[in-house]
Amino acid sequence: MANRTQLRTVSNEGGTLDLQHTSTDSPILPAGNLEQLNQIDPSLVAFVVEQTKLEAEHRRRIQKRTNLYVFTERISGVVAVALVALFGLGAGAYAIVSGHDVAGATFAV
């Protein structure tokens, strides 16, 4: 799907400025652009297709690595919280066994 943005401004002196931008989420250039490239040089189409394949593979590799890092970060956070909670419960239990009921209950909470 192509997104098109067009801007037009007119200065006080009457001059105009037109800007156009088109972006697409397609993994390859639109057919019209490939046809124009083919008219210029047929080898350019093969080059664009090959570079698109390489870019897609790279993007997938980066996405996979990013997903792994996010997963590792979240799991390590859960493990860290579990260790802190277990340490608090253990310190509270030790304080209660040692005769410090109020301090032990405070640690355990």
Scan for tokens 């030790």, then name that residue.
Answer: 94
Entry field: residues in the chain: 109
27 close to 51: Cβ distance less than 8 angstroms? no
Question: What is the pLDDT, as a whole number, of residue 24?
Answer: 67
Question: What is the pLDDT, as a whole number, of residue 71?
Answer: 98
> pLDDT under 50 in the chain at which residues?
none
Question: What is the pLDDT, as a whole number, of residue 2?
Answer: 66
Question: What is the pLDDT, as a whole number, of residue 5?
Answer: 87
Question: What is the pLDDT, as a whole number, of residue 1?
Answer: 56
Indicate the pTM of the whole model: 0.56
Question: What is the pLDDT, as a whole number, of residue 25?
Answer: 66
DSSP letter, residue 28: S
Question: What is the pLDDT, as a whole number, of residue 23?
Answer: 73
Query: Could you give the dihedral angle defined by the CA atoms of residues 92, 97, 98 and 102, in that order, rounded to the nearest 10 degrees?
Result: 50
Question: What is the pLDDT, as a whole number, of residue 32?
Answer: 82
